[in-house]
Chains A and B, each alone.
Chain A
């Protein structure tokens, strides 16, 4: 059973507009969430994270929102750029990340069109 779900396999957005990538989780013990970005033929790279004590974290064009009651988080990219085209993975961990592994979603492929 998938504990971290990214229900949209792909997303296409026009350059300059907002990209919203969604992630749902089922395990209420998850308390730390991360987003990774992956280009073809490269390993994933860390993008942004959020702890469950917050509901928003911002880093430049990237903002992650966490809705604990809905067990939902989203990554907003504003404005979207063609270089943002990549696969984005949502990941979660429990116990403050001190133990256990990251649980990854299946990823969403973002295409930003010029």
Chain B
């Protein structure tokens, strides 16, 4: 089974902190994605990557950056955390859209 592992299930950070969310997949997928899920807003794409060292902005990239130094790892960085970034963050990977995405279990981030 494809496994997508997010390093933390729950995180509490202070406003202004730099926050790293890590995601690792074990099936050699080229494509990796970061979403946030908020009530009433569904899944919103933050950033995605089709290959090592490449990244593309999604629908809501402001306040975030990403890093993909190795194929299996895709990191989401909150440069200076703010309370409006309190959310559930979901990482996903895929071979291609037709095979669907495999999601991690999510990280519930609270910024206080």
A residues with a Cβ closer than 8 A to B are 6, 9, 32, 34, 36, 38, 41-46, 49, 89, 91, 93, 96-102, 104-107
Contact = CB atoms under 8 A, between A and B. Distances in A.
A102 B32 CA distance: 12
20 contacts: A6-B42, A9-B40, A32-B98, A36-B103, A38-B37, A41-B88, A41-B108, A43-B103, A43-B104, A43-B105, A44-B101, A49-B100, A91-B100, A97-B99, A99-B97, A101-B45, A101-B48, A104-B42, A106-B42, A107-B42
A96 B96 CA distance: 9
B66 interface: no
Given A89-B42, A106-B40, A43 B99 contact: no
Interface residues of B, number: 25
Interface string B69-104: 000000000000000000010101000111111111
A38 B27 CA distance: 22
Given A101-B33, A102-B101, A105-B42, A44 B90 contact: yes
Given A105-B42, A107-B42, A41 B106 contact: yes
B97 A102 contact: yes
B21 interface: no
Q: Which 3 A-B pairs have the closest CB atoms?
A: A97-B98, A43-B103, A106-B42
Contacts of A49: 100
Contact of A44 (B48, B96, B99, B103): B103
